[in-house]
Structure 1
Amino acid sequence: MSEQHQPAPAGTAGTPGPRGTTRIEDVVVGKIAGLAAREVSGVHSLGGGAGRMVGALRDSFAGPSTTAQHGVHVEVGETQAVVDVSIVAEYGVAIHELAEAIRSNIITAIERMTGLEVTEVNVTVHDVHLDFGPDEDPDAQQPEQHTRVQ
Structure 2
Amino acid sequence: MTTPSGSTTTDSSSATAIKPASPGAGSQLETRQGKITIADTVVSKIAGMAAREVSGVFQLGGGAARAFGAIRERIPGSGGPNIAQGVAVEVGETQAAVDIDVVVEYGARITDLAAGIRRNVITNLERMTGLEVVEVNVAVNDIHLPSDEPSEAEHRVQ
Q: TM-score, normalised by structure 2?
A: 0.74
Structure 2's unaligned 5+ residue stretches are 1-12, 19-26
Of the three residues 90, 97, 111, the one matched with 1:75 is 90
Which structure has more strand as a fraction of its residues? 2
Distance in 1 (CA, whole Å) between partners of 2:105 and 2:35 is 42
Larger radius of gyration, structure 1 or 2? 1
- Classify 1:102/1:133 alpha carbon distance in 2 versus 1 (closer, same or farther; 3 Å): closer
**CA displacement 1:75-118 (0-9 Å, x = unmatched):** 11121111111010000000011001000000000000000000
- Matched positions, count: 133
Counterpart of 1:16?
Answer: 30
Q: Is the 8 A contact 2:56 2:108 kept in 1?
A: yes
- Classify 1:9/1:132 alpha carbon distance in 2 versus 1 (closer, same or farther; 3 Å): farther
1:63 counterpart letter in structure 2? G
Q: TM-score, normalised by structure 1?
A: 0.77
2:79 counterpart letter in structure 1? G
Structure 1's unaligned 5+ residue stretches are 1-7, 145-150
Of the three residues 101, 126, 138, the one matched with 1:123 is 138
Distance in 2 (CA, whole Å) between partners of 1:142 and 1:50 is 30
How far 1:21 moved relative to its partner? 2.3
How far 1:9 moved relative to its partner? 7.1
Identity of aligned residues (%): 51
Counterpart of 1:47?
Answer: 61
Q: Is the 8 A contact 1:10 1:22 kept in 2?
A: no
**CA displacement 1:43-75 (0-9 Å, x = unmatched):** 0001022332122112332233x5210110111
